């Protein structure tokens, strides 16, 4: 056990409770059902990606874990405590996407200023080193790249030595190299035992940096597994064609077809063997405008949410 985790236990967290426990959690904003009946347990030390398209409910769920918003129904526990209590004990920190930095002070001054707001914190040099920004400690925030500013936010989040770190789309706007450096810093730190939950739109990012991916769509968990398991769901291709009155049963019966959908005059077929579908459409039907595309994550969500939930869990 590291000294930091011993210190964490002194704040009432023994490490035996789940880092995050959501039971039947829903959140409505008026008539918008942002989160619908989510059950999720994250064990201490896991690195979990919340993967989902725009509006899936990722931020709303993270906000509930942070105690920033209350669920309409269900229960949220963080390290066995109500979110607000866990935050008050410094057990949870967050790295959000933007905002919160003063441009005219240096990186070190920013961390020192944040540290001065807490009663007990780790040393400034230690968190700068863990976030990989000791070398730019005297640089003005305004002169830091987007990636460096995110690592500064990460350093600030490390001051309380949280057991749980939440990151909401932390690499938005960063280039590939910036992303890689940012994530290798996070992973190195997480290896010491910190639990990390991050939201992302990118399957690749989730696959590379998380141990487990929770796929969320329209407020529901539609899949939960390793990167390889989730990638298998997102593999295959989509064949689209203009075909009024498509015989969906015949299409669904073709080998390797996962899902058939009709939208107006178009038919959309998700399939492992797209050639067989295209051949069928072009030779056996009056289909026009046949297009084949790799099934991206958005298509995977569509095909997943088109299934009965019990089939894909
Ligand atoms: N304060 C609010 N008032 C009304 N509707 C809201 C509010 N916050 C979120 N929503 C709605 O709830 C749904 C889920 O939003 P949320 O921000 O959680 O999704 P997300 O997965 O984080 O999306 P993104 O990737 O775009 O950040 C959306 O339909 C959104 O418009």
CATH number (domain holding residue 250) = 3.30.70
| Domain membership flag for residue 99 | yes
Q: Among 49-53, 149-153, 227-231, where is mean pLDDT lowest?
A: 227-231
Do residues 75 and 123 share a domain?
yes
User: Are 191 and 283 members of one domain?
Assistant: no
CA distance 129 to 169: 23
Average confidence (pLDDT) over 255-268: 90
Q: Are residues 163 and 134 located together in one domain of the fold?
A: yes
Measured in Å, residue 175 CA sits from the centre of ligand 1 at: 25
Shortest-distance Cα residue to atom 5 of ligand 1:
29
If one residue of 26, 27, 29, 94 were mutated to test the ligand 1 pocket, choosing by the most ligand atoms within 8 A of its CB, it would be 29
Of residues 212 and 308, more confidently modeled:
212
SS (H, E, C) 142-156: HHCCHHHHHHHHHHH
ipTM: 0.96
* 150 and 215, same domain (yes or no): yes
On whether the pTM is more than 0.95, the answer is no
DSSP state letter for 2? -
**Ligand 1: residue whose CA is nearest its atom 12:** 34
Tell me if 173 is assigned to some domain: yes
CA 146, CA 25: separation in Å to the nearest integer? 34
How crowded is residue 231: how many other Cβ atoms within 10 Å of its Cβ?
Answer: 17
Sign of the Cα torsion 224, 49, 63, 304 reads negative
Average pLDDT over residues 16-27: 95
25 φ/ψ angles, rounded to the nearest 5 degrees: -85, 125
Residues 248 and 143 in one domain: no
Decide if pLDDT at 77 tops 90. yes
Q: Please indicate, yes or no, whether residues 142 and 269 belong to a single structural domain of this protein.
A: no
- Give the domain range for residue 261: 237-294
- pLDDT tens per residue across span 125-183: 999 998 989 999 999 999 998 888 989 999 999 999 999 999 998 888 778 888 888 89
- The answer to whether the beta carbons of residues 227 and 254 sit under 8 Å apart is no
Whether 71 and 189 share a structural domain: yes
pLDDT at 9 over 90: no
Tally of domains in the chain: 2
Same domain, yes or no: 221 and 241: no
- Mark whether 43 and 140 lie in a shared domain: yes
| 219 and 273 belong to one structural domain | no
Report the mean per-residue pLDDT for the chain: 86
């Amino acid at each position: 056990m590291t000294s930091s985790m011993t210190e964490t236990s002194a704040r009432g967290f023994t490490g035996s409770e789940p880092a995050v426990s959501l039971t039947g959690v829903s959140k409505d904003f008026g008539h918008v059902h942002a989160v619908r009946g989510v059950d999720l347990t994250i064990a201490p030390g896991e690195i979990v990606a919340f993967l989902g398209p725009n509006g899936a409910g990722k931020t709303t769920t993270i906000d509930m874990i942070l105690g920033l918003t209350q669920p309409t129904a269900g229960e949220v526990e963080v390290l066995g405590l109500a979110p607000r209590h866990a935050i008050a004990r410094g057990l949870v920190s967050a790295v959000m996407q933007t905002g919160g930095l003063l441009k005219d002070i240096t990186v070190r001054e920013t961390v020192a200023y944040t540290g001065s707001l807490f009663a007990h914190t780790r040393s400034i040099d230690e968190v700068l080193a863990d976030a990989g920004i000791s070398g730019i400690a005297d640089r003005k925030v305004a002169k830091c790249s987007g990636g460096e500013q995110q690592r500064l936010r990460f350093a600030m989040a490390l001051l309380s030595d949280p057991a749980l770190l939440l990151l909401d789309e932390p690499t938005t706007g960063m280039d590939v190299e910036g992303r890689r450096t940012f994530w290798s810093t996070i992973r190195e730190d997480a290896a010491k035992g910190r639990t990390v939950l991050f939201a992302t739109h990118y399957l690749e990012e989730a696959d590379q940096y998380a141990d487990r991916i929770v796929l969320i769509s329209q407020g529901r968990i539609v899949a939960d597994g390793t990167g390889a398991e989730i990638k298998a769901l997102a593999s295959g291709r989509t064949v689209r064609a203009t075909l009024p009155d498509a015989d969906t049963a015949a299409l669904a019966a073709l080998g390797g077809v996962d899902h058939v959908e009709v939208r107006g005059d178009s038919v959309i077929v998700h399939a492992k063997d797209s050639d067989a579908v295209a051949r069928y459409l072009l030779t056996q039907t009056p289909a026009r405008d046949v297009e084949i595309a790799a099934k991206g994550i958005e298509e995977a969500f569509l095909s997943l949410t088109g299934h009965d939930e019990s089939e894909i869990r």
